[in-house]
Chain A
Amino acid sequence: MTTAVSFKQVSRHFGSVRAVDAVDLDIAPGEFFAMLGPSGSGKTTCLRLIAGFEQPTAGSISIFGERAEGVPPYRRNVNTVFQDYALFPHLNVLDNVAYGLMVKRVGKAERHKAAEEALSLVRLPGYGARRPGQLSGGQRQRVALARALVNQPKVLLLDEPLGALDLKLRENMQEELKSLQKALGITFVFVTHDQGEALSMADRVAVFNDGKIMQIGTPEDIYQRPSTRFVADFVGSSNVLPPDFVQRYSGQRRWGSLRPESIRVGRAASGEGVAARVVSTNYLGATTRLALDADGLKLHAIVPAGTALPAEGEAVVLTFNRESLHLMDEPA
């Protein structure tokens, strides 16, 4: 089976900066693939390599089996939804959406009809006559999406498309994007620094750091079974446990990770467990996050609302199931 996008030892160096360094990657057709990582981790550069805005310094890229090195962006059947949408300010919404068809010399009536359909798809019917400047951020985002989708790309690239939206709108758009992707069956490659977004939307996630992929896997893999300290820490801010600590509970001298929600917090008198002191409590609505100090080891625990909370400075005992302690591949 051909892959939608395939990277073989792809590097993109800017002078001495290794933005992308020997990355191997296979994205399946019809997959919703997320690239997750902090800023400067190389995820956006990877996206730009697929779009054709950047050329690899080394390695090879293929898109649906065809080699893409040296192919300019306008000859790739790949479209991008830009982070700040990049709508053309001098064209109205309809002409923005029809732009891709216009440059392919599709007749005016036909391309306007297709653009109207694309606008309906993103639930903006009848907005064609407006200027991008007259739209809200969420609406612009939908126009950018329609403008890309109208070309029926083989791969749709999304560069932090929800970054500029407020929380409520972002949650709506996440669901919409997900269902749109299912309905259209187009391969989506989605760049984000928001782990929640990546986990909730993607079929598979690649976690980037320093131009390298730390781990590729399903959201569950990434969340439950991080392979390195970086992944454990970045995806859901897991507690990273040093080898000494892990040895006591699993018998193996390895780095471990423990999800904050896997830790149970009990009264100091309640018996066995890790003795700790509460440093601070943060009320988050549905949950409360506790910062704990277990003999110099800093830990976080998340307890659901309604649980009796210990006071700051109080001594507590922490317990967790042996199986929720995950051992990482990274050597001690």
Chain B
Amino acid sequence: MTSAALNTNPAPAILPGSGGMRGALSDLFWRRPQLLLLLMLAPPVLWLGIVYIGSLFALLAQSFFSIDEFSGLIDRQFTLKTYGDLFQAANLDIILRTVTMAALVTIASAIVAFPIAYYAARYARGRWKALFYLGVMLPLWSSYLVKIYAWKLILAKEGILTWLLAKLHLLWLLDAWLSLPVVGGNSLSVSFTGTFIVFVYVWLPFMILPVQAALERVPGNLVEASSDLGASPGQTFRNVLFPLAMPGIVAGSIFTFSLTLGDYIIPQIIGTSRLFIGQAVYSQQGTAGNIPLAAAFTVVPIIIMGFYLWGAKRMGAFDAL
């Protein structure tokens, strides 16, 4: 009988420790798991707490100083004057422009990302799924600057887009768009439309991935159940898919919204000469040497994001989490 054979196993019921430092350490960590957790968390917490958050606060502290307009020296006295400067028409204009752009980029990213994420979550399997990840991530592997300059060539007046539209006899459409106020310009590469297109392109992966992850967690039979209960595909989208994808869309929009709020390279290379927040920070702390105003500008996206998350939570965006 097998049971009899098993009973002759000479090993003791409790195995001896493996001995030495490593054995003792393993046993110690097994008995006190908090100790291991502490050891693992200490370096990142120190980094995040001191180097990262600490320097952020140092920066924010600067925003409560002011610059002496005659000497150009920083007056290290607590004041709200710098924040007052933010409300000058020119600065308010920058903030409004940036927030509008960030909002439009976020909405457009969500609209473009949803079908891609939906396909990847519901239909792509095996090789197609790998191809999806590759397709979404590949743009992130190449240099950000190279991509933006490539877009400059695509969008330029002599660029491929103009050429393509001319071949399709649709140049009038582009010209009509470019003749519009605000969004238009001499060519796409020097218009807000161009800035918008490149922003959407560059941040799109950051929207696709969280939306895909959220949709992946929606069981397929919920879609079937909705359809079974009489909901048309449109109703199923509005009542089931969209609410359940909402946490993913909010997560993605945090990326697209905050990245657009802070970026200063894209509007510098593609678009008009009008400034965005990132460019304002760059020029204030660089050429102008007005660190307090640069710091105050930095606070703006943080406050906007705070309101954004608060609003999203109030609207129930995280209810399905």
Q: Which residues 221-251 of B have a CB within 8 angstroms of A?
A: 221-222, 224-232, 235, 239-240, 243-244
Q: Given the complex, which residues of B lie within 8 Å of A80, measured CB to CB?
A: 224-225, 228
Contacts of A102 in B (CB 8 A): 239
14 contacts between A and B (CB under 8 A): A73-B224, A73-B227, A74-B228, A78-B228, A80-B225, A82-B221, A86-B222, A87-B225, A88-B222, A88-B225, A90-B243, A100-B229, A103-B231, A103-B235
Chain A residues close to B by CB (< 8 Å): 51-53, 72-74, 78-80, 82, 84, 86-90, 99-100, 102-104, 147-148, 151
Q: Is B168 an interface residue (CB 8 A)?
A: no
Q: Which residue of B lies closest to A78 (CB)?
A: B228
Q: Most chain-B CB neighbours within 10 Å: which of A53, A73, A102?
A: A73
Of A86, A90, A103, the contact of B230 (CB 8 Å cutoff): A103
Q: Let me know if B219 is at the binding interface, CB within 8 A.
A: yes
B contact residues around A86 at 8 Å (CB)? 219, 221-222, 224-225
B contacts, CB < 8 Å to A: 219, 221-222, 224-232, 235, 239-240, 243-244, 319-320
Checking A74, A84, A87, A151 against B227 with a beta-carbon cut-off of 8 angstroms, the contacting residue is: A74
**B230 touching A89, Cβ below 8 Å:** no
Q: Which residues of A contact B229 (CB under 8 A)?
A: 74, 79, 99-100, 103, 147-148, 151
Report B266 CB to chain A, min CB distance, Å.
36
Give chain A nearest CB distance to B3 CB in angstroms: 15
- CB distance A73 to B222 under 8 Å? no
> In the complex, which of the residues A52, A99, A104 contacts B226, with contact meaning CB atoms closer than 8 Å?
A99
Contact B239 A89 (CB under 8 A): no
State in angstroms the CA–CA spacing of A80 and B320 once bound together: 24
A-side contacts of B239, CB under 8 Å:
99, 102-103
Best-buried of B222, B229, B231 by chain A (most CB within 10 Å): B229
Q: What is the chain A residue whose CB lies nearest that of B232?
A: A74
Are B230 and A104 in contact, CB atoms less than 8 angstroms apart? yes
Known contacts A74-B228, A86-B224, A86-B225; 11 additional CB pairs below 8 A are: A52-B228, A73-B224, A74-B230, A74-B232, A84-B219, A86-B219, A87-B225, A88-B225, A90-B319, A103-B232, A151-B230
Residues of chain A contacted by B224 (CB below 8 angstroms): 51, 53, 73, 80, 82, 86
- Cα–Cα, bound, A72→B231 (Å): 10
